[in-house]
Structure 1
Amino acid sequence: MNLLLRLLGACWLLCAAGAVPAQVSDAAPPPTLRVDLMHSGDAKQEHYALDRVVVEPLPWPGNPARPVDDTDRGLNRFEVIDPQTGKLLYSRGYSTIFGEWRTTDEAKQSSRGFQESLRFPKPDRPVQVRVLQRGDDNAFVEVWRIDVDPAALDVVQEKRPAPAEPIAIRNNGPSPEKVDLLILGDGYTQAELPKFEADAHRLADHLFSVSPFRERARDFNVWALAVPTRESGVSRPSTGIHHDSALGTRYDIFGSERYVLTLDNRALRELAQYAPNEFIEILVNNQTYGGGGIFGQFSTAAASNDWANYLFVHEFGHHFAALADEYYTSPVAYVSGEERPEPWEPNVTALRDPARLKWKRHVGADTPLPTPWPKAEFEAYQRNNQARRVELRKQNRPESEMSALFEAERRFTDELVSRAPYRDAIGAFEGANYQATGYYRSQMQCTMFSRSERFCQVCQDAIADIIDLYSRPASD
């Protein structure tokens, strides 16, 4: 690790990176401060508690020109405030695993706690950290506040040896000028570490073949890091498979057989801190279809699945740009009420007021809102398709049969869309956000709707906004 980190440090020292305030200076970037907390509660109430404050071993990788997040993404937002002046020093929108869990049936009956972290450039004085959450009107309301003194005696500052060497997959310049994507591996044995590196290269290459990542590839650095595990693959409890993996990543989150996350935030952050990172995708060394993504936290993908390319990109869309799922026929763990409030996510709408549609600028004058599409034919096919999918998992059939089912589904959907009158239009197509009615997506096809290989224009715009937030030209 030492040589690579010395080189990284040299790059950081050459770049313009101020402290917490918005102005850019020629000073070296500050350290990275991490506030670890516990977020607990149930469907009706929630609580926050401080776990610890940590100074990470690497400098802050963020863009000093954009300390304040103006993209209006995430179920939550945290703010770092100078208590003496009231000045907003740093902010970021994000979502949480707790926020998803509290929409499940389990949250109506029991309480749970989830680990979370807030990361920001280490200030040179005490600050206040505020956590805000969206209300029913999508406005942010403060739900928790804590004073943080970076010089306090209980701040963790031990510098332990790195457990593994970070690998530079793509290095396009100093971190403060680039988006730093870290690919972590879980479920790779020592003998499989070369496979992890190959998987990271392969899937990163695919990500940058998809617009708008393709056009903005030079705005990214990509790093890879993995700690070997004793057993190959991660846990899949629904089939009796339990593996002791480095990050605790597993299938069957919230009872969904394909949902893959880690609930061990400390293990995740303790490893990720040894490579520059603003976004994290975890590759699990499994063949079974699965993945997941939480905005501002991390995403996951099964690296050995036939649909790994799609999984990597789709789940990264959730994590990177807060894109909502646009599909609605696959079963999910979340419980939706009958009301259809306007989603805060940029790519779905309740279409309360067509004249104020969030992507109205893309809609042609002759495109009706809502926009017709062969919805009934699609749903009839999917009823049979989803029943077959459930049966394949129930019988524990070979993964190749599930892959064949997905391929047949993609061919059907592509053919159906190809003969629809508004196949290329941007409008408001009913069926999105896990709901058959009341929510709408902007185009018939998108990576967030089906296993299409492209993002719709609205999703591309949303992704570009986040790239702009985290990267900047070297001349700025």
Structure 2
Amino acid sequence: MIRYLTSLLALCAASAALAAQPATMRLDYLHSGNASEEHYAVERVVVEPLPWPGNMAQTIDSTNRGNNLVEVVDAKSGKLLYSRGFSTVFAEWRSTEEAGHASRGFQESVRFPRPEQPVKVRILKRDDGNRFVPVWSADVDPNAMDVVRKQPPAPVRPIGIRVNGPSPDKVDLLIVGDGYTQAEMTKFEAAARRLADHLFATSPFKERAKDFNVWAIALPTTESGVSRPSTGAYRESPLGTRYDIFGSERYVLTTDNRALRELAQYAPYEFIEILVNNETYGGGGIFGQFSTAAADNDWANYLFVHEFGHHFAGLADEYYTSPVAYATGGERREPWEPNATALHDPANLKWKKFVKEGTPLPTPWPKQAYETAARAYQKERAALRAANRPESEMSALFKKDLASSTALFTPDPHRHTVGAFEGANYEATGYYRPEMQCIMFDRSEQFCAVCAEAISAIIDLYSRP
């Protein structure tokens, strides 16, 4: 009862602080197509129940992150009112084999402070030169009759996990549970608190913990867990989160964006991490959309932080020996992600301010020995999954693999060097990462200096000193 009252008071305090903010407007649209074409269509425009949670002094995004950019422009004057970078599930899907012979549609949303007058909402996409170019626009009149202004009462009340101040001054992270029964709501809250504690024990989140609010919300399910189709396990869950996305047994996402947004709108949020009530290793993260993690896995701490790195800061995966569900292509274009490079121009390396004079670029590391060990590890990992062995065996294999790579890297003279280490972005050659080890490379416990700075830049965008 005391915990409930504390959460209620925190939510009331946050709501009071939001009262002076504009309303939150959401444009729901359908993004469809295949490997060679894409289309957009408006579904609906919604005024969400809670006011805008963000800092109105920081409405323009200057971080240059994401495959896409949303711009909200005043229809009459052309003034840019709001912008944010983001990426999409559609963009990943269209690089899969399926997209070469079939078309699919994905639900997407963009949220922005409700304008007073009609606006044009533009979606931009990176071209071959990494520049954002317009690909679609929609006219939005906030006073139009078809705007959804009335929402049903909140089906569940959000819980205040960490409330450090008014939402406009803080980064609001919402932890959403999927696959938890009514009897497991206490378990969900405990997992949310445990994983939030770990996030804020990890630098640079540790040093910036007071710049965050953390909320939690979950709709009860009739049975525990989410679907894992590759093993014949199917579960009804409110958000439709599941394993085996795009055929990858460890990739966990929801493609039911509307269900996610209709639940999340009852809490202040700018970022979402979905906890699935499963033991099997898995997760996923889409920049500016959401991330996921299996809450009951032995590596849940790592999963929560690693996947949040994708969603929160647009960090690239730095590993390259694990199979992935989508193709990166043969051309080595310079990635927009802050922690990966094609190294076309070593003299102008994007993170050169961290590189000490005299550091060789590319930077040598025990790559051949690592890859030899990784091939054996991946073979064993695949065999464990194929045999549907207990998760404890997979966890033990992960522990052995991390110990092996750490032992290999520890004596190396470039162990803590910032340079350009070949092997990143799912490719063994042609892409480079900043340091030998990082949370985005393996299951280690620290972000490299480049990733830490990239995270701090997003915190600065959403928080107020």
**TM bracket, shorter-chain basis:** over 0.9
Write the distance in 1 (CA, Å) between the matches of 2:376 and 2:185: 40
Deviations 1:396-439 (A, max 9, x none): 00000000000000001111110111111000000000000000
Note the 1:170-181 alignment, pairs <5 A: 170-181=162-173
Counterpart AA for 1:350 = A
Of 152, 157, 160 in structure 2, the residue corresponding to residue 165 of structure 1 is: 157
Residue aligned with 2:365, SS: coil
Tell me how far 1:109 sits from its aligned partner: 1.1
Of 31, 43, 64 in structure 1, the residue corresponding to residue 56 of structure 2 is: 64
Residue aligned with 1:443, SS: coil
Equivalent residue, structure 2, for 1:7: 13
Of 345, 353, 358 in structure 1, the residue corresponding to residue 337 of structure 2 is: 345
Tell me how far 1:7 sits from its aligned partner: 3.1
Write the distance in 2 (CA, Å) between the matches of 1:312 and 1:7: 28
Residue aligned with 2:230, SS: helix
- Structure 1 residues 427 and 31 mapped into 2: Cα distance closer, same or farther (>3 Å)? same
Deviations 1:131-151 (A, max 9, x none): 000011100010001100011
Write the distance in 1 (CA, Å) between the matches of 2:262 and 2:354: 43
Equivalent residue, structure 1, for 2:320: 328
Tell me how far 1:6 sits from its aligned partner: 3.7
Tell me how far 1:337 sits from its aligned partner: 2.1
Whether contact under 8 Å (2:417, 2:435) holds in the other structure is: yes
Counterpart AA for 1:199 = A
Tell me how far 1:9 sits from its aligned partner: 2.0
Equivalent residue, structure 2, for 1:18: none
- Structure 1 stretches of 4+ with a deviation exceeding 4 A read 1-5
Equivalent residue, structure 2, for 1:187: 179
Residue aligned with 1:459, SS: helix
Write the distance in 2 (CA, Å) between the matches of 1:7 and 1:371: 51
Note the 1:224-303 alignment, pairs <5 A: 224-303=216-295
Write the distance in 1 (CA, Å) between the matches of 2:206 and 2:12: 30
Tell me how far 1:380 sits from its aligned partner: 0.2
Equivalent residue, structure 2, for 1:25: none
Write the distance in 2 (CA, Å) between the matches of 1:49 and 1:7: 38
Equivalent residue, structure 2, for 1:19: none
Write the distance in 1 (CA, Å) between the matches of 2:443 and 2:215: 26
Query: Are residues 1:139 and 2:131 paired?
Result: yes
Write the distance in 1 (CA, Å) between the matches of 2:190 and 2:307: 20
Write the distance in 2 (CA, Å) between the matches of 1:82 and 1:165: 35
Counterpart AA for 1:175 = S
Equivalent residue, structure 1, for 2:75: 83
Note the 1:76-475 alignment, pairs <5 A: 76-473=68-465
Deviations 1:94-132 (A, max 9, x none): 000001111111111111100000000001111000000
Runs of 5+ in structure 1 lacking a partner?
A: 14-27
Deviates more, 1:205-214 or 1:412-421: 412-421
Write the distance in 2 (CA, Å) between the matches of 1:181 and 1:10: 18
- Structure 1 residues 2 and 51 mapped into 2: Cα distance closer, same or farther (>3 Å)? farther
Of 16, 23, 29 in structure 1, the residue corresponding to residue 21 of structure 2 is: 29
Counterpart AA for 2:255 = L
Tell me how far 1:2 sits from its aligned partner: 7.8
Deviations 1:213-249 (A, max 9, x none): 0000000000000010001000000000110001100
- Structure 1 residues 44 and 130 mapped into 2: Cα distance closer, same or farther (>3 Å)? same
Tell me how far 1:346 sits from its aligned partner: 0.3
Equivalent residue, structure 1, for 2:3: none
Residue aligned with 1:460, SS: helix
Write the distance in 1 (CA, Å) between the matches of 2:190 and 2:15: 26
Whether contact under 8 Å (2:14, 2:165) holds in the other structure is: no
Counterpart AA for 2:268 = P
Whether contact under 8 Å (2:11, 2:160) holds in the other structure is: no
Equivalent residue, structure 2, for 1:24: none
Residue aligned with 1:249, SS: coil
Residue aligned with 1:261, SS: coil
Tell me how far 1:366 sits from its aligned partner: 1.6
Counterpart AA for 2:17 = C
- Structure 1 residues 2 and 364 mapped into 2: Cα distance closer, same or farther (>3 Å)? closer
CA RMSD of aligned residues (A): 1.0
Write the distance in 2 (CA, Å) between the matches of 1:178 and 1:294: 21
Residue aligned with 2:135, SS: strand
Whether contact under 8 Å (2:8, 2:159) holds in the other structure is: no
Write the distance in 1 (CA, Å) between the matches of 2:382 and 2:332: 28
Deviations 1:130-179 (A, max 9, x none): 00000111000100011000111111111311011100000000000000
Residue aligned with 1:176, SS: helix
Deviations 1:192-217 (A, max 9, x none): 00000000000000000000000000
Counterpart AA for 1:11 = A
Deviates more, 1:327-336 or 1:200-209: 327-336
Query: Are residues 1:53 and 2:45 paired?
Result: yes
Instruction: Using structure 2 for the length normalisation, give the TM-score.
Output: 0.98
Counterpart AA for 2:434 = S
Deviations 1:313-336 (A, max 9, x none): 000000000000000000001113
Residue aligned with 1:125, SS: coil
Tell me how far 1:3 sits from its aligned partner: 6.5
Instruction: Using structure 1 for the length normalisation, give the TM-score.
Output: 0.95
Deviations 1:372-394 (A, max 9, x none): 00000000001010000000000
Write the distance in 2 (CA, Å) between the matches of 1:207 and 1:224: 15
Counterpart AA for 2:151 = K
Whether contact under 8 Å (2:420, 2:433) holds in the other structure is: yes
